[in-house]
Amino acid sequence: MLVSMMVLSGCSSGTAGTNVEQDAKAPLELWTRTTPGGPGEQGTVRLAAAFEKATGYKVKVTAIFDDFETKMQQRAAQKDLPDIVMNDVTQLGTMQSQGLLREIDLSKLASAKDLTERGLASGKAIDGKQYSVPYSAQATALLIRKDWREKLGLQAPQSWADLTAMAKAFTEKDPDGNGKDDTYGLAAPLSTKRGYASWYFSNFLWAAGGDFVADAGGGTFKPAMSTPESTAAMQWFRDLGCKDKVIQPGAVTMDTPPTNETFEAGKTGMYVVGPYLLPRYDKSLGKDKYEVVPMPKGAKNADVLAEGGAIYLMAGSPNNAAQDAFAAFATSAEGQKVGMEGDTAYIVQLPVNKSVDISQVRPDPRWKTFAEIYQASGHYAPSLPNWTPVRQTTAETVNALVADCSLDLKAELQKLDTKLAEILAEQGVAAS
């Protein structure tokens, strides 16, 4: 709490940039939440170099992964924030509510008119003001072992019933032909670590018309996990593990790394995931062994989880003009193409600039499938002051319901809604 108070008193977003002496030659300090020395850092350095060449502004890139938030708070307490932060879009509420950000004037971004409406909306806080702009987007699709599907004479699923039937066939009919009972229909990371169970389940919850918390208008929300739609989604998903037994063993203890391995090792036949695994699976599994298709429509729609990276202009920068210029360049057609370059060292998954045709940069049609899914069905989490406790609390319940099939589902979801109501009240966004 003390750190947050220091942040708010030292870097109030309401006054950020208005009382700091400006220096158009001041270099930008850019922090990106990625592994130092990894492909994410390499891609960011390449983008920064292109920006420098195009504008003359200097940029120093620092990649931080471990304890990123802690280090950010330390710099905030010192009233010396970096100028630019490239981080997950779900961090907007937390950073904005702590006063770390300055509002973005879209009229100063020439590229703003070309950005997807979906992406721009993800950068607005509860107060309706723009505090970030997306530089990369992603949405999930259904990866299927094509060779398994064809061997069993199945078609790509068009409904949840089809998906269940395929998952059961992959589990029971020896699709790999090794004569062993060692395959499962669906890969699912259902650990509570970092809220993975909630993160994964969102792909099914939203398609059923359910929600974690529902927008009640006026910047307020109400719990929604015990609604009929959310309950039905949870029951269906739970049945995959408890009744049909088509989810890989140990799923409730797995985050994404071991779950990723089950698909490439031929232990699971379907996986709902983003495009970032394509290069890895092409190499380890073989491009001809699997396919990418849209998720089948749920009870209401085909909404799937949308995520991405966002550019945050930090409070207290001595060079607001360079901050604006970087945001404009990174989201321009030129910047987006630079960010998409390379087989692994790219930082733009799907372009957020509508003038960029992904087929021209990545001719692989599977990437276009992901882009079309994002445009048609991508669903971002709401920009609460702090989304993390909502994700974590819902993950614990989703995990428990799949791990213990004897629990009373409706009772557990009602308990969850009570907890969500408390979280919303603590954040000052509970509907009256």
| pLDDT tens digits in sequence order for the chain, 432 residues long | 333 333 433 343 333 445 799 999 999 999 999 999 999 999 999 999 999 999 999 999 999 999 999 999 999 999 999 999 999 999 999 999 999 999 999 999 999 999 999 999 999 999 999 999 999 999 999 999 999 999 999 999 999 999 999 999 999 999 999 999 999 999 999 999 999 999 999 999 999 999 999 999 999 999 999 999 999 999 999 999 999 999 999 999 999 999 999 999 999 999 999 999 999 999 999 999 999 999 999 999 999 999 999 999 999 999 999 999 999 999 999 999 999 998 888 999 999 999 999 999 999 999 999 999 999 999 999 989 999 999 999 999 999 999 999 999 999 999 999 999 999 999 999 998
Tell me how far apart the alpha carbons of residues 150 and 29 are, in angstroms, rounded to a whole number.
52
* Cα–Cα distance for residue pair 81/389, rounded to 1 Å: 25
Encoded tokens for 322: 């360079």
Q: Are 231 and 381 in contact (CB under 8 A)?
A: no
Number of domains in the chain: 2
Strands 268-273 vs 184-187: parallel, antiparallel or unpaired:
parallel
Write the DSSP symbol of residue 252.
G
Position of tokens 């061997």? 151
Question: Which residues, other chains included, contact 182 with Cβ-Cβ below 8 Å and sequence gap of 6+?
Answer: 267
**Domain shared by 127 and 84, yes or no:** yes
| Residue 237: closest CA among 107, 362, 373, 397 | 397
Residue 154 within a domain: yes
In this structure, are 149 and 105 located in the same domain? no
Let me know: does 136 contact 349? Beta carbons within 8 Å. Answer: yes
255 within domain boundaries: yes
Tell me, yes or no, whether 269 and 292 share the same domain. yes
Domain housing 118 = 2-138+307-379
| Residue 117: per-residue pLDDT | 95
pLDDT for the residue numbered 8: 39
- Contact present, 191 and 255 (Cβ < 8 Å): yes
Q: What is the pTM of this model?
A: 0.92
Could you tell me if 146 and 272 lie in one domain? yes
Same domain? For 14 and 163 the reply is: no
Tell me: do 67 and 117 sit in the same domain: yes
The reply to whether 145 and 293 lie within a common domain is yes
Distances (CA, A) of 319 to 21, 38, 190: 9, 28, 44
Q: Please state the separation of Cα 378 from the chain's center in Å.
A: 10
**Looking at residue 19, what is its pLDDT?**
78
Is residue 432 a part of any domain in this protein? no
Count of CB atoms situated within 10 Å of the CB of 192: 21
> Within this chain, do residues 258 and 311 fall inside the same structural domain, yes or no?
no
Assess if residue 52 is contained within a domain. Answer: yes
Q: Is residue 89 part of a domain?
A: yes
Q: Are 278 and 311 found together in one domain?
A: no
Residues 181 and 248 in one domain: yes
Same domain, 160 and 300: yes
User: Is the residue at 431 inside a domain?
Assistant: no
**398 and 290 co-located in one domain:** yes
pLDDT of residue 432: 85
Identify the CATH number of the domain in which residue 397 sits: 3.40.190.10
